[in-house]
Amino acid sequence: MSTPIRTVGIIGAGTMGNGIAQACATSGIDVVMVDISDAAVQKGLATVAGSLDRLIKKDKATEADKSAALARIKTSTDYADLAAAQLVIEAATENYELKLKILKQAEAVLPPETLIASNTSSISITKMAAATSRPEKFIGMHFFNPVPMMALVEIIRGLQTSDETHAAVHALALALGKSPITVKNAPGFVVNRILVPMINEAFFVLAEGLATAEDIDAGMKLGCNQPIGPLALADMIGLDVCLAVMNVYLEEYGDSKYRPCPLLKEMVAAGRLGRKTGRGVYTY
C-alpha cells in the first residue's frame, strides 16, 4: 500500500482510543471513532476537548488548532462507518474474546484492502491475526498512556504481517510525530517485558529489607535517571496488573525468572492495589 493513510478508524473511545484519536486529529488525519453507545463516544470526544484545552492553557496549541482537530473526529456507534478508513485500530479492553468479537464485527464491514491494528499491550498479534480473514494485513500498534504526550509506539509484527502492512503503519506513526520501534510478537513485547520484571525485582529488594521503599525509588530515580521509582510506578499501574503480567510471563515462557514476588502476591491478596485503592506500597 503506497498511498499514505489519511483516515483512521478507532474502535473504543476510552482512555487509549480517545488518546489515539487526538494524536491522529492533531496531525491532520481524519478519524472515525466508534463505541457501543453514544454516551461513550461523546465522553471520549469531551476528553479530547479537555486535553486540547490544557494544551491551549500551556500555549502549546491555539483555539483554531482545537476546532480543526475536533472537526476531524467523526463519532459513531455503527461499525459500517469504519469502511471509509484505510486503517482500523482496535483499542478495547485487554480481553482476547472481546477483541475477537470486535474484530469479527469490523471485518464484516471493511473492504478487503483495509489494514487492522490492535493496541494490545499483551495479547499475541499472531494469534489475533490468525482469527481474521486478512492475517497479512493485521499488526500490533501499541501506544503508551497518555497517548498525546508519549512519543513511543511499539509496532508488533505477527508471524503473518506483510512488509507492506508494516511499512504503512510505520509511516503513519511517524506522521503522528511518534517514535516507533519494531518488535516481533512475544509476550510483553519489549517495554513491558523489561519493565514489569524490574518492578517485580524491586518488590524482592523491598521484601528482603535491603532498603526502604522510599530509598529504593530514590536510588532508581537518581541512579538510572528514571522519572518515577519502580514501586511508585507499580502503585500507579496497579499491583494487580503487575502481578497478572508476571503470571502471564511465567506461564508463557516457563522460566522461573518470571516468578512473581511473594510480597507482591500478598499485597494484591490484601487489596492493596496502589493508587486506585488508596494504598499500595505507599498510602494515598
SS3 119: coil
Write down the catalytic residue from 154, 162, 170, 200.
154
Contacts of residue 265, Cβ cutoff 8 Å, sequence gap at least 6: 243
Write down the catalytic residue from 18, 122, 124, 192.
192
SS3 147: coil
Write down the catalytic residue from 118, 119, 121, 122.
121
Lookup: cell for 232: 511508585
Output the CA angle 90-94-99, nearest 5 degrees. Answer: 45
For the question of residue 121 being annotated catalytic, the response is yes
Lookup: cell for 255: 522460566
Q: Could you give the C-alpha distances from 279 to 64, 206, 215, 284, in angstroms and in order?
A: 42, 16, 18, 6
For the question of residue 192 being annotated catalytic, the response is yes
Q: Going by DSSP bridges, is the β-strand pair 87-90/73-76 parallel, antiparallel, or unpaired?
A: unpaired
Write down the catalytic residue from 119, 122, 124, 142.
142
Answer for the pair 7, 30: CB distance below 8 angstroms, yes or no: yes
d(CA 165, CA 173): 12
Residues in the chain: 284
Q: Mind telling me the catalytic residues?
A: 121, 142, 154, 192
